[in-house]
Structure 1
């Protein structure tokens, strides 16, 4: 057995695996019944990411049936023992997570193969920082495997778990396929249909309940499981009998016309979850907690998405409020309790909720950790408008209290994101569940609910902005580090919101290797503020031709959004300019266009309004154009919050404007007929 150990920043010992190494999980932790596998990478090109998949194999090294192939079109397998939890942006790129309950796997499953695949000619060699990590049910990271030799492979086996003498072991594989997901699946006994034909979608029934904005959930032929049932739904789609369709499904939500019977615009529709009558923070927290927990229990798909983040098993979810526990000489009352029952086993989490700008309190959370440990509960979950970065909890608590209990954090923005993705993109089997989630979304988006997500750049914002204007900001200013951290949180929340609106996985693009930790990244932002007065970030929107760069210039009060577009293959440079201008007929005239010659970083630059009548202004002296750089400036809010004149609102406005008025008009460059 070949592996080495290192100590992570949190202090726990992690087995660093090398290719071909194996290790028994029981030697690393006692809490290995339910584990989380995390596959991560950074995508410097922004061309697209990868999708995880899991194959459950018998003693013959092949699947028993198609149910043992868990991937994006079939995200749950083995009676809920395997669940794909989806992608999430991180401070160093993106992560795709898998929840695996080893105790619930059928006895005939001998191996679990963990893999990923890419599409449209993209290879794993194009990704940086390819890695796998395995965490136990308490959330403690047990082992890590970094892959450095990926090349032209379009599918990749990261690792596998296998039984040996009644024990589960992990092997670091690091082996690729050039035949994509279909080739990988075929090798393990899956009968694949990798056509791109889209299935026929039926319109929803006339009386289907719809979410608040009128978009019903995607109808599917399979019956929905009853609330609390452990039985997974049958696969929603097969292109041919007995064959698995590996081409990605596209969920198209049919907009249903809604008749408004109100006699006056002031009339408000009655809501299941109302924000009226909320008088103080305590009432807001109580109603927000009860509303969320009740929907989690009644909509299993939604409840499992959230609980799976905390390594809970897939089972019957029950939620509670007003639970009291003895602590020292007094009683403590967490805001909520979540319990998940699965095959005689009960997983429990205590929930502490904050709304509005109220901060979490260390002493309060530590008391819940003590109560959880005393009662044998697995997790304490904190829920607030703050956003955790790099899997670091916003609070620093006594680490001795984390030996038996995991401490996890969730932002209200992440809750709304999961609900939105289910309602509008992934779909639910039960239309009533879609309506319930729509009501939850409507509640979360009401200002008086206090569940608005990250909306405050913090008390350091104004002093730092003023220091930049005065030229007195220096590298050692701690307030600048706070602003840099909040900038990362804002970008992460922006990616969550855009993902929900587009149905695509929008994520930060990191140009640096992940060995540069969060402190180094923030110091780079501080250095940029000192030198140029700017904070910058790049995000990848899969529908965009390249990563989108966001620059907030605190000296000029402008936000610049920029994308580079590859020029079309036209023989004449003027034709290349005209090809671009034809796509930008609806773009704002103040859009800045810069034409770049091969190997050049600058070139002729004009506003769109000037280039339309005289496109020749954009032709470089060399007469060659390889790409165009498009930049749109938007005014920057000065206040620290999300009000109309606030910085946070202005970032959202700038990116939305660029996406709607510029990015959506762009089409990939295609070869054209030879011009005379």
Structure 2
């Protein structure tokens, strides 16, 4: 589409009751990012209240009409997705504005490949709107959906704001407070029903929710029934926030007499013996928790086009298919306003691969019966351009079925985000999710995520060691794909533990094909014997680099930090060493010098008494410092403690907990 053009959604697809809007971008440096936002407007073009403004601190509507699904990496950058259930949109909402904003001094002109895409309920892309004229804007309206009678239409807008998210929101009647506040919302650990409290949202641009009366502090001796003059009330406006129930940071003291007493579990895993038993139990537990905890069920299905409504789940359902009926592992049904959304579920545990013919049968059954989706769940991680199973879609069929995949690592991450960081509505739901998370992490559950580098791993390592691996070897491509799956799983795990967005950084030419990119990386692996990746942790001081040198058998985790804009070189070095007071003694610190790349280096143990050793002897201009930790990598490709995958996990965890957390973070972002 071109700027200013519009189109009716019904003319593009019959399945537009629920749509997914994706905003995408890339950057040459790999660290450019933005945040999406959505505004619901009435017939006057204004928000009905501040609750109609959805952004990173207010990501979902209670009725399910709007849900920000978060970022996913693409071949060239990031894509931020939004689920819009148009059937659930309130009748007085006439317009839905889809926008994005950058923070600090960042501008949209430094991003590349700005685009909006819209997909229907089956996941098929219906339209695309590229934006090529972005410049100094720090907020941008990509497009809008609006009503024309009973029909929803889309308009390509492409309008920018130099005043950022605050200026955009104010134009639509949102009351935004730009006060410099850096107050973290307290974690609620109490049990019982949700309550109301005066809690400021962390790192929000002052979004005020529906106000409640604030109890004033009365003078000594004043009766509680006395009226208080309006001028005596506090200037700060009240905020309303549900107390969300999360897990306590410190576990309660056990009542057991000794460590040999094992606590009872709602979902025991120790007695599981066969793969079939693990698969059956994991499917039943997953689907049951999805139905019992609405926040969790909605979180997993919204990205697949499911509406927000009453969810029921079933296991081992027999469905006719030719002479022999088929029994998918599970069925998910969601009902809203008389409309049914149905997905067939196929699960695998313990590293067992999905079977193409099995998934194909379920796709055919879903198409014939008018179901919307087939969802596969396994320990594997899906990659763009590299499907886990090949299925054929009959283009002659009018009804389209979407094929989606969930990794058990993603299921675990979503459960962690809810019960450890974002919270759920009741203590019972928190307890249920806690038991579910314990089951997933039990060594016998078989739901541990990606744990095998594949059959090509050992031959490729041997070929690199013997210098016999040649460019064009498909086994190297398989190792690059396994490495990419591993890095994405590291991001999922770390994001769930930290409660932050953690995404891999893709540095690729604009418009490059994922398979071509992986082939180029495979050729580079054959040349230098190294696997390299970068991950961005939201709120961190820089980008984490992970390098696996297959020739030396070492892992290197590193982080580059810029020098301070104030002070002198010696003060920079001293300040850095002071910040790293609790960091490991074997941490390597390297000075980055303009025009020369690297400069003086040494371990933290040797630099602590003499920080001046980091200064270039020739007086070169310091641009920053690189911090690195090294670790030997395991050789096993399985799940043993010495395995390569566990070595990467351990190395990343150690670097983040002992180095990254010691460094000062950038100022909290705000418009």
The corresponding residue for 2:293 is 299
1:528 aligns with 2:512: no
Q: Distance in 1 between matches of 2:305 and 2:386?
A: 16
Listed as ranges, the matches of 1:407-556 within 5 Å are 407-556=403-552
The corresponding residue for 1:406 is 402
- For residue 221 of structure 1, report the CA deviation from its aligned partner: 2.4
1:115 aligns with 2:99: yes
> Aligned with 2:37: secondary structure?
strand
Q: Distance in 2 between matches of 1:240 and 1:517?
A: 53
Q: Structure 1 residues 254 and 362, CA, compared in 2 at 3 Å: closer, same or farther?
A: closer
> Aligned with 1:396: secondary structure?
coil
Provide, for residues 574-631 of structure 1, a one-character-per-residue CA deviation record: whole Å limited to 9, x for no partner. 2221111111222222222211223431212222222223333221112532211112
> Aligned with 1:327: secondary structure?
coil
Q: Structure 1 residues 414 and 668, CA, compared in 2 at 3 Å: closer, same or farther?
A: closer
- For residue 554 of structure 1, report the CA deviation from its aligned partner: 0.0
Q: Distance in 1 between matches of 2:522 and 2:238?
A: 50
The corresponding residue for 2:306 is 312
The corresponding residue for 2:638 is 641
- For residue 354 of structure 1, report the CA deviation from its aligned partner: 0.5
Q: Distance in 1 between matches of 2:86 and 2:18?
A: 6
1:587 aligns with 2:587: no
Provide, for residues 460-517 of structure 1, a one-character-per-residue CA deviation record: whole Å limited to 9, x for no partner. 0000000000111111111111000111111111111111111111111122244112
- For residue 59 of structure 1, report the CA deviation from its aligned partner: 2.3
Q: Distance in 2 between matches of 1:220 and 1:457?
A: 47
Q: Distance in 1 between matches of 2:107 and 2:88?
A: 34
The corresponding residue for 1:367 is 361
Q: Structure 1 residues 612 and 200, CA, compared in 2 at 3 Å: closer, same or farther?
A: closer
Q: Distance in 2 between matches of 1:465 and 1:391?
A: 25
- Determine which of 582, 604, 611 is the counterpart of 2:607: 611
Provide, for residues 34-62 of structure 1, a one-character-per-residue CA deviation record: whole Å limited to 9, x for no partner. 11111223355566732222112222211
> Aligned with 2:622: secondary structure?
coil
> Aligned with 2:160: secondary structure?
strand
- Determine which of 210, 221, 225 is the counterpart of 2:196: 221
- Determine which of 133, 147, 152 is the counterpart of 2:131: 147
Provide, for residues 290-330 of structure 1, a one-character-per-residue CA deviation record: whole Å limited to 9, x for no partner. 00011001100000011102100000010011210111001
Q: Distance in 1 between matches of 2:545 and 2:329?
A: 40
Provide, for residues 196-227 of structure 1, a one-character-per-residue CA deviation record: whole Å limited to 9, x for no partner. 5448747533x569xxxxxxxxx6528xxxxx
The corresponding residue for 2:174 is 190
Q: Distance in 2 between matches of 1:279 and 1:431?
A: 32
Q: Distance in 2 between matches of 1:594 and 1:562?
A: 10
Verify the 8 A CA contact 1:251 1:425 in the aligned structure 2.
no
Stretch moving more, 451-460 or 641-650:
641-650
TM-score, structure 1 normalization: 0.88
- Determine which of 354, 360, 377 is the counterpart of 1:383: 377
Verify the 8 A CA contact 1:194 1:246 in the aligned structure 2.
no
1:277 aligns with 2:271: yes
- Determine which of 21, 37, 45 is the counterpart of 1:37: 21
Verify the 8 A CA contact 2:587 2:629 in the aligned structure 1.
yes
- For residue 431 of structure 1, report the CA deviation from its aligned partner: 1.3
Q: Distance in 2 between matches of 1:500 and 1:345?
A: 33
Runs of 4+ in structure 1 deviating by more than 6 angstroms, as ranges, are 239-247, 249-253
The corresponding residue for 2:255 is 261
> Aligned with 2:591: secondary structure?
strand
The number of equivalent residue pairs is: 631
The corresponding residue for 2:8 is 24
Verify the 8 A CA contact 1:377 1:405 in the aligned structure 2.
yes
Verify the 8 A CA contact 1:193 1:243 in the aligned structure 2.
no
TM-score, structure 2 normalization: 0.88
Q: Distance in 1 between matches of 2:314 and 2:269?
A: 21
Q: Distance in 1 between matches of 2:136 and 2:522?
A: 38
Q: Distance in 1 between matches of 2:579 and 2:35?
A: 31
- For residue 111 of structure 1, report the CA deviation from its aligned partner: 1.6
1:658 aligns with 2:655: yes
Verify the 8 A CA contact 2:579 2:662 in the aligned structure 1.
yes
Q: Could you say what the CA RMSD is over the residues aligned between the two structures, in angstroms?
A: 2.7
The corresponding residue for 1:132 is 116
Provide, for residues 389-409 of structure 1, a one-character-per-residue CA deviation record: whole Å limited to 9, x for no partner. 127541111122786211111
Provide, for residues 509-559 of structure 1, a one-character-per-residue CA deviation record: whole Å limited to 9, x for no partner. 122244112112212321221111001011111333221111100000001
Q: Distance in 2 between matches of 1:80 and 1:167?
A: 20
The corresponding residue for 2:216 is none
1:204 aligns with 2:167: no
1:323 aligns with 2:317: yes
Verify the 8 A CA contact 2:244 2:426 in the aligned structure 1.
no
- Determine which of 550, 568, 577 is the counterpart of 2:573: 577
Verify the 8 A CA contact 1:568 1:579 in the aligned structure 2.
no
Q: Structure 1 residues 93 and 669, CA, compared in 2 at 3 Å: closer, same or farther?
A: closer
Stretch moving more, 607-616 or 310-319:
607-616
Q: Structure 1 residues 669 and 337, CA, compared in 2 at 3 Å: closer, same or farther?
A: closer
Stretch moving more, 541-550 or 291-300:
541-550
> Aligned with 1:169: secondary structure?
strand
Q: Distance in 2 between matches of 1:594 and 1:202?
A: 38
Query: Could you list the runs of 5+ residues in structure 1 that have no partner in the other structure?
Result: 1-16, 210-218, 223-234, 671-676
Query: Could you list the runs of 5+ residues in structure 2 that have no partner in the other structure?
Result: 198-206, 214-235
Verify the 8 A CA contact 1:465 1:554 in the aligned structure 2.
yes
Q: Distance in 1 between matches of 2:279 and 2:653?
A: 31
Q: Distance in 2 between matches of 1:67 and 1:650?
A: 45
Q: Distance in 1 between matches of 2:65 and 2:567?
A: 57
Stretch moving more, 432-441 or 182-191:
182-191
